[in-house]
Amino acid sequence: MRQASGKNVVVARSKLTLGPLFFNWPTEKRLDFYSRIADEAEVDVVYLGEVVCSKREVFFEEHLPKVAERLRKSGKEVVLSTLALVTSEREMKAISDRVENGFLIEANDVACLQALNGKPHVIGPFINVFNESARNVFVSNKAKRIVLPVEVPETSISILANTKKVETEVLVFGRQPLSVAMRCYHARANGLNKDGCRIVCGRDPDGLETDTMDGQPILTVNGTQTLSYGYGVLLNELHALKEMGVSHFRLSPQDVDMAAVAKVYRETLDKKIEADEGMAKLKKLTGKVPYINGFYYGREGLSWVEQKKSKTNNKISTRRKK
Amino acid sequence: MKQSATTSCKSDYILFYHRVLIVMHGNLSKFPFTQFAMRVLPASILQKIVDALTHRMRSVHPRLFSNLERLEGATVLIEPCDLPHRFILTFGAGESSLEVAQGDSEDCDATIKGNLSALLDMLEGRIDGDKLFFSRELEISGDTAVVVALRNTLDREEICLLDDVTSLLGPFADPARRAIVLADAFAERIRAYLEERAQKANCACDSLREENEELKKKLATFEARGKRRKAS
Amino acid sequence: MTVSYLELVCPAGTPAALRAAIDAGADTVYCGYRNCTNARNYPGLNFDQDELIEGVEYAHARGRKVLVAINTFPRAGDEKPWHKAVDEAAEAKADAIILADIGVLDYATRHQPHLRRHLSVQASAANAMSVSFYRDRFGVKRVVLPRVLSIEDVAALIEKTGMETEVFAFGSVGPMSEGRCFLSSYMTGLSPTSEGVCAPASHVAYKEEGGCMKSCLGCVTLNQFEKDEPAPYPTPCKGRYITHGEARYLFEEPIGLNAIDLLPQLKAAGVTALKIEGRQRSRAYVAEVVGTFRKALDALAMGSSKSFANDLKNVAEGGRETFGAYKKGWR
């Protein structure tokens, strides 16, 4: 049956990673952001590249090699992320080109695996890996790391991460990606459609708040992508995840001081500060946006399960309307 | 015991039963006399009819009942808007029963409200439950999952209530079925006949009235003549 | 059976619906087992092994086919039900299985190599490269294409891969990339990908508030509408949300997909089969939709160009219809 922990797994120093930027920031803002990450952020791996919409790619594409070089020079591993939903000829070609240019690739659509043809790579969170058999197929296909989908609960992570054959990465900070689509909801929200979108997604650096009819903030729209409204936060769970065999901890860029966020996570991982203290520090960095962690506990993704000292008494709160 | 009461009144039930069936099969609003009958019919007698019907359905559709019993235990209040009675359907966790609801406060998991014809159409798989849902012909409250489970389970069987009910009569099923279908048509014909007669009667009245007027006029003429004669 | 204009693949949520679909002219029906191994795991729906065996016999006796959908993603440590479903579908002599999870595909390829494998829409293979991967790696023979592609995209994919394709012709619009949508579990805690239930009825509630109806999923209000306004089934992607202070159907309107007037274009694009969605709908719906599509396909085979679009309006979601992603303006 299920093994509670990966005690046999020798875990090296836990790696902190910076996921691909989901939002459509202006080029200047991106350049500033990544130079600050290169100089100050205590992250070991940085994922670059557009995941949401190929129409945005053109704006940053030319700067990508320079930014990657800068990050590498400051000792960070650079991984090139790819689109989560690939449909056009042009997008397929872009993927094939990326695979050829020597970077480690994060595959977010199975199309990528066909292009990689057995080259080592990372399986991104947009490819479903929910069970051991699927994981093993990806491993045999030369995946060196698997980023689990946000929906995977603790009970499954403990099984999937319990292996020496592949590294396991889990998203521990940031809005949780819930769906990808062909349709652009950002355009729809502005009375436009995808083909004539005027890149309106660029107006919302942290995504577009989406409320229910009775005024409860519930989702975040980011172009063709839909994310949670709350920030997914698994700071309290870091040590448990480490125990299970998770090797990489992903911070997904939001429009907050990400270098400072990384510091909080690094210190908590290294047990320099307690999780409680980490939570207090994090709260100061993230403003009014609530935290969620329901998926981890196999509950409504939008809920927050309070971590108590006694494990039997986890307090569950599901956010209700204001 | 219930049993003896059932036997002694059996013929009455069957008689009533036929009327209910005609109503169920035809359009209820055409048969105000049966609605009236159901309104005055005591719940205890209706219950016996319901029992006989479910007993019969159980032997015709054993799979329907085993499927119902496989579900999670639940109770559903069924409220036909155009009938004075409500029913409680209990199913799941190894049992299934249909009872006439007594009293107001029924503690059910869900309620289905709608015209009897919509409810029966759903039972017989003629109408899509989803469609009813978005067109709002059926009003569903309480635990929606219970209703979905029930609808899906009913939809697994080809149910024809007319067949099931008439088959209650054993060897007389076929004649009865024919009789009911005939009765349905026959009732329509009687109504048409009566209407025709009434119209005819009206016509007859009119001509009698005319005749009467004519006679009155004639009488008045005679009277006048008589007066004139007396005077002269 | 004569070769059809396009193969008509129809839903069978129950044994009665299977018979109804076949009697109404389906070339093929698809169904699932009564558990979490398929993406329509609703209470009271689906088949047990005896029912499936009977269903396959009924279909085969009439020269039709049965596909078994085993198209959810097993949870870690609990893959047995999916493996059992694959083995039992083979034993029931199903004509093919429809799979989504790479682990289940791998199992089927190794343990039931002779059982034909189709790729479910839940695998979200929306391009020629993905489709080729599944073909090369698992010998997949047919792919059910996601409802996010235009007819031009479909034609290009077929040309590139030479694969048999099955496309949605009638049912929901499904704006999200299926199999990768966590909106329902975000609101209910139950996952369409693992448990096979999107917007489970157990979490759906209708409430009346101040003369208005409110539909809720879990503790989330998905919609508010007037009492007589047609209300879609409350899935997260058919909800009404507020952005910039204005409420709208942000993802998709309450509207049904109906491609019945696009059949010649789909045929020209090289599509093999048409899929009618709706295992959760009644056998009355199945008979009506299948019958109408049968008529349309037969008319096309005879060279007629009669439109059948209006025949199905009253069974479409919200009573309205669209071509969905098949036409580019939809995006």
Same domain, C291 and C326: yes
| Number of domains into which chain B is organized | 1
Report CB contact under 8 Å: B134, C232: yes
B205 within some domain: no
* pLDDT tens track for C176-189: 888 999 999 999 99
Given a contact cutoff of 8 angstroms between Cβ atoms, the answer to whether C330 and B147 are in contact is: no
Same domain, C204 and C59: no
Question: Using a CB-CB distance cutoff of 8 angstroms, which residues of chain A are in contact with residue C101?
Answer: 128, 130-131, 133-134
Same domain, C109 and C206: no
Q: What percent of chain C has pLDDT over 70?
A: 96
SS3 of residue A131 by DSSP = coil
Residue of A179, A197, A209 to mutate, interface with C, max C Cβ within 10 Å = A179
ipTM: 0.94
Single residue among C248, C264, C289 that ends a domain in this structure: C248
Higher pLDDT, A261 or B156: A261
Same domain, C130 and C230: no
Q: Does B74 touch chain C (CB under 8 A)?
A: no
Mean pLDDT over the full length of chain B = 70
B155 within some domain: yes
Q: Quick check: C313 pLDDT over 80? A: no
Mean pLDDT over the full length of chain A = 91
C180 within some domain: no
Question: Mean pLDDT over residues C227-233, rounded?
Answer: 71
Reported as a pLDDT band with limits 50, 70 and 90, residue A320 is very low
C219 within some domain: yes
B8 within some domain: yes
Reported as a pLDDT band with limits 50, 70 and 90, residue A322 is very low
Higher pLDDT, A64 or B57: A64
Place of tokens 């603790």: A154
* pLDDT tens track for B190-230: 556 656 666 666 666 677 677 777 777 777 777 777 777 76
Pick A110's closest partner by Cβ from C130, C224, C242: C130
Ordered by start, the domain boundaries in chain A are: 15-175+231-288
Number of Cβ pairs < 8 A linking chain B and chain C: 93
Q: Quick check: B27 pLDDT over 80? A: no
Q: Quick check: B97 pLDDT over 90? A: no
Task: Measure Cα distances from A39 to A33, A67, A80, C97 in Å.
Answer: 10, 12, 20, 53
Q: What is the pLDDT of residue B23?
A: 43
Report CB contact under 8 Å: C243, A189: yes
Lowest mean pLDDT among A176-190, A288-302, C149-163, C215-229: C215-229
Identify the CATH number of the domain in which residue B145 sits: 3.30.1050.10
The matching CATH number, chosen from 3.90.25.10, 3.20.20.60, 3.90.1300.10, 3.40.50.410, for A15-175+231-288 is 3.20.20.60
B182 within some domain: no
Q: Quick check: B186 pLDDT over 60? A: no
Residue A78, φ and ψ in degrees, nearest 5: -110, 130
Q: Which helix (H) or strand (E) holds C107?
A: helix C102-111
Report CB contact under 8 Å: C16, B67: no
Identify the CATH number of the domain in which residue C109 sits: 3.20.20.70
Higher pLDDT, C285 or C72: C72
* Full domain range(s) for residue B27: 2-171
Q: What is the pLDDT of residue B124?
A: 77
Distance from the C233 Cα atom to the nearest Cα atom in chain B, whole angstroms: 7
Given a contact cutoff of 8 angstroms between Cβ atoms, the answer to whether A78 and A87 are in contact is: no
Question: Using a CB-CB distance cutoff of 8 angstroms, which residues of chain B are in contact with residue C227?
Answer: 136
Single residue among C210, C231, C248 that ends a domain in this structure: C248
Q: Quick check: A309 pLDDT over 60? A: no
Q: What is the pLDDT of residue C176?
A: 87
Report CB contact under 8 Å: B156, C317: no
Query: Could you give the CA distance from residue C95 to residue C55 in angstroms, rounded to a whole number?
Result: 12
Reported as a pLDDT band with limits 50, 70 and 90, residue B128 is low
Q: What is the pLDDT of residue B225?
A: 75
Residues forming a β-bridge with C165? C143
Q: Does C32 touch chain B (CB under 8 A)?
A: no
SS3 of residue B90 by DSSP = strand
State which amino acid sits at residue C206.
Answer: Y
Same domain, C79 and C224: no
Distance from the C69 Cα atom to the nearest Cα atom in chain A, whole angstroms: 18
Query: Could you give the CA distance from residue A251 to residue B37 in angstroms, rounded to a whole number?
Result: 72
* pLDDT tens track for A92-124: 999 999 898 889 999 999 999 999 999 999 999
CB atoms closer than 10 angstroms to residue A75? 8
| Number of domains into which chain C is organized | 2
B202 within some domain: no
* Full domain range(s) for residue C37: 7-175+255-330
In the stretch 100-159 of chain A, residues with CB closer than 8 A to chain C read: 109-115, 126, 128-138, 141, 149-152, 155-156, 159
Q: Quick check: B35 pLDDT over 70? A: no
Higher pLDDT, A315 or C211: C211
C229 within some domain: yes
Lowest mean pLDDT among A92-101, A247-256, C318-327: C318-327
Lowest mean pLDDT among C76-80, C81-85, C146-150: C146-150
CA A191 to chain centre: 29
Q: What is the pLDDT of residue C321?
A: 79
CB atoms closer than 10 angstroms to residue A44? 18
C188 within some domain: no
Sign, CA torsion B58/B64/B68/B71: positive
Chains B and A touch (3+ CB pairs under 8 A): no
C186 within some domain: no
Question: Using a CB-CB distance cutoff of 8 angstroms, which residues of chain C are in contact with residue B140?
Answer: 206
Q: What is the pLDDT of residue B107?
A: 83
Tokens at C208, concatenated: 């009346």
C282 within some domain: yes
Pick A159's closest partner by Cβ from C77, C103, C125: C77
* pLDDT tens track for A268-286: 999 999 999 999 999 999 9
Chains with ≥3 Cβ pairs under 8 A against B? C
Residue of A82, A85, A110 to mutate, interface with C, max C Cβ within 10 Å = A110
Question: Mean pLDDT over residues C286-315, rounded?
Answer: 87
Widest pairwise Cα distance in chain C: 60
Same domain, C24 and C93: yes
Closest-CA residue in chain B for C313? B131
Q: Does B143 touch chain C (CB under 8 A)?
A: yes
Q: What is the pLDDT of residue B2?
A: 36
Return the DSSP state at C273: E
B199 within some domain: no
Chains with ≥3 Cβ pairs under 8 A against A? C
A268: nearest Cα among A238, A292, A303 = A238
Please return the burial class of B13, using the count of CB atoms within 10 Å of its CB with bins 0-12, 13-18 and 19+.
middle
Place of tokens 């499936």: C52
Report CB contact under 8 Å: C44, B136: no
Question: Using a CB-CB distance cutoff of 8 angstroms, which residues of chain C are in contact with residue A136?
Answer: 103, 106
